[in-house]
Amino acid sequence: MPSGHGGHGGRAERVGLRVRILRAMSRLGIIGVGQMGAQIWRRLDERDRGAIVFDANSGALAALAAEGALTATGPTDLAARCDVILLSLPTSHDVEQVCLGAGGIAPGAAPGTLVVDLTSGVPSSSRRIGAALGDHGVHYLDCGVSGGVAGARAGTLKAMVGAEIADFRAVAPVLELVAAQIWHCGPVGSGHLVKTLLNQSNQAKLMVELEALLVAAKAGLDPQLVGEVLGTRVWNRWLFDSDERAPVGFSLALACKDFDIALRVAAEEQVGVPLAAVAQQVLRLAAGAAGPHADLIDAVAVWERIAGAEITAPHGDTA
């Protein structure tokens, strides 16, 4: 709890925070129950923190309803029934429509409702959405998350939050159910900015690591051994830990979107990021070759064809 600054103002702040914490621990809602959102619901349900759900995709909604989830007819209906709402949507444009569009959250939400945006969003859009929701008395937090579908299911996500400190403290008990590490990064927009920088760093690194493994394979080295030496944790898991290449669960289209946001932020801040720009184009070439619905793992086959080498683990001694 924050220490007040004395007088009636400090007491009012403490009372308001206490009310928001109690609300956050009562009625939860999730809008967007695709791969990430569905696993977050399952994680919460296992912890006896069920949530009302809605998704524009009727199939995704029906799948969770079959598992016992309570469903809403739309964002306005869900907002009227919940005190804290988690958004797991593809883009900031989707978030804006769900929050502020016709049939959105704003008309149904009571003052003091907490909206936690888990989307990998555009920071400037997050600030604009937060201000607009604030005009309706709704508290908005941008919360970038890292760890993927598996992390959501296991409750081991990293969460990077941009919010007023009182709102951050109010939703922390909920976030602790799905995230092992949580940072308050600053005011609204900061969480998505930190997540953007994380994406920029991680995804550029993945492209360089893939190139290194291709050179190793072409040179006749054991790619698995080289991966262990280099510490290529993602590729080690998805290329070498099983006999078949399974989808990572992260589309090339979303990876490209993350790079787009990173370059947009860099341009807004007038910082040159030439390495990130090259990595973005590399990923776009892979996405164009693999198809619009391709998974990150499909980028490997694209670059294997270009390099004329295959990244495979050895199958026992051949001597």
Enzyme catalytic residues: 195
Could you tell me which residues come within 8 angstroms of residue 168 by beta carbon, excluding any fewer than 6 positions away? 141, 161, 184
Encode 125-149 in three state secondary structure.
HHHHHHHHHHCCCCEEEEEEEECHH
Token pair 């070498």: residue:
240
Inter-residue contact 130 to 142 (CB < 8 Å): yes
Closest CA to 235 of 208, 199, 260, 195: 208
Inter-residue contact 147 to 175 (CB < 8 Å): no
For the chain, the straight-line distance linking the first and the last C-alpha, in angstroms and rounded, comes to: 66
